[in-house]
């Protein structure tokens, strides 16, 4: 039986959890400050971090005085989080079926997690359900290639120029759709949120050399790494060679930086 999108995501992030902090956190961490500053003083506030990964945003929120719960569907990610942040309640759970009562939290966060849900609208509705009146929901989303997502543009153009993108994988939600103008706002409005705002985040992938893109894709992506994995061996090897060539022009001495724009979207639950 063919695996579902959700099953591939679960399996993929379980296998990559131990490498997340080293390879992916430097990029996703750039969403932490915009998310946390979207709230007023967090001291004593109950906050839920959804799709927490190895727990770093949850840890940062706790350091600012929040009373934090955090969930992820990957048991391996939850194990990593519990090892790092022992005073936070981490739980393996589904973002589309949150295991909390209505009106439980003052704040809900999701840092680059919505794109990994089969039904992002249901994830937004669940965040609304568990929020108290006047509570706020803040998420970050990657921008597509045509809106400043240069990192993803180079990766996708290179892979598609060498390999076959139509491999035997289940249909996935469009990766960048929610960051398109009006898209996340519509989901949040439909769920019941008001005071919905969007703000750009000038994020970038920073590393040392072009060769690092190989590890980044292997341990930092699920869908893209699977597309490459499903190619013939000689094509896989050629894709990786071409990716290194494509990122070589971004090297500046011992540093490499590629723009990877993102957005913050935030909304409040009415009184």
pLDDT at 195: 97
Tokens 């706020």 belong to residue: 136
The answer to whether 232 and 164 are in contact (CB under 8 A) is no
pLDDT at 33: 98
Give residue 53's Cα distance to chain centre: 9
pLDDT at 2: 80
Could you give the C-alpha distances from 125 to 27, 173, 188, 246, in angstroms and in order?
27, 17, 8, 40
The band of 203, judged by pLDDT with boundaries at 50, 70 and 90, is: very high
Tens digit of each residue's pLDDT (9 = 90 or more) over 27-81: 999 999 999 999 989 999 999 999 999 999 999 999 999 999 999 999 999 999 9
Mean per-residue pLDDT for 107-125?
Answer: 97
For residue 1, pLDDT beyond 70: no
Could you give the C-alpha distances from 153 to 93, 147, 150, 218, in angstroms and in order?
32, 10, 5, 17
HSE-up of residue 41 (Cα within 13 Å, Cβ side): 2
Share of the chain above pLDDT 70, in %: 100
Strand 204-207, strand 255-259: pairing: antiparallel
Could you give the C-alpha distances from 13 to 8, 20, 269, in angstroms and in order?
9, 9, 31
Tokens 């292997």 belong to residue: 218
Q: Assign 169 to helix, strand or coil.
A: coil
pLDDT at 54: 98
pLDDT at 116: 94
pLDDT at 257: 97
Tens digit of each residue's pLDDT (9 = 90 or more) over 223-264: 999 999 999 999 999 999 999 999 999 999 999 999 999 999
81 contacts: CB under 8 Å, gap ≥ 6: 52, 53, 54, 55, 58, 70, 72, 88, 90
Give residue 234's Cα distance to chain centre: 31
- Token pair listed for 25: 């956190």
Tens digit of each residue's pLDDT (9 = 90 or more) over 154-198: 999 999 999 999 999 998 999 999 999 999 999 999 999 999 999
């Amino acid at each position: 039986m063919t695996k579902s999108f959700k099953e591939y995501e679960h399996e993929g992030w379980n296998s990559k959890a131990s490498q997340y902090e080293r390879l992916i956190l430097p990029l996703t961490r750039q969403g932490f400050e915009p998310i946390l500053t979207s709230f007023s003083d967090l001291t004593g506030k109950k906050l839920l971090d959804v799709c927490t990964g190895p727990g770093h945003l949850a840890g940062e929120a706790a350091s600012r005085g929040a009373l934090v719960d955090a969930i992820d569907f990957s048991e391996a990610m939850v194990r990593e989080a519990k090892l790092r942040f022992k005073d936070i309640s981490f739980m393996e759970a589904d973002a589309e079926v949150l295991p909390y009562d209505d009106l439980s939290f003052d704040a809900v966060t999701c840092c680059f997690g919505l794109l990994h849900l089969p039904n992002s609208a249901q994830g937004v509705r669940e965040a609304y359900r568990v929020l108290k009146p006047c509570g706020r929901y803040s998420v970050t989303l990657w921008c597509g290639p045509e809106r400043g997502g240069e990192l993803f543009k180079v990766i996708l153009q290179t892979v598609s120029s060498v390999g076959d993108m139509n491999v035997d994988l289940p249909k996935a939600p469009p990766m960048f759709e929610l960051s398109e103008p009006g898209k996340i706002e519509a989901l949040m409005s439909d769920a019941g949120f008001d005071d919905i705002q969007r703000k750009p985040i000038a994020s970038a992938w920073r590393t040392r050399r072009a060769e690092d893109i190989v590890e980044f894709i292997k341990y930092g992506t699920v869908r893209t790494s699977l597309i490459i994995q499903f190619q013939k061996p000689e094509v896989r090897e050629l894709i990786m060679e071409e990716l290194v060539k494509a990122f070589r022009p971004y090297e500046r001495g011992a540093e490499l930086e590629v723009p990877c724009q993102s957005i913050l979207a935030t909304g409040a639950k009415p009184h």
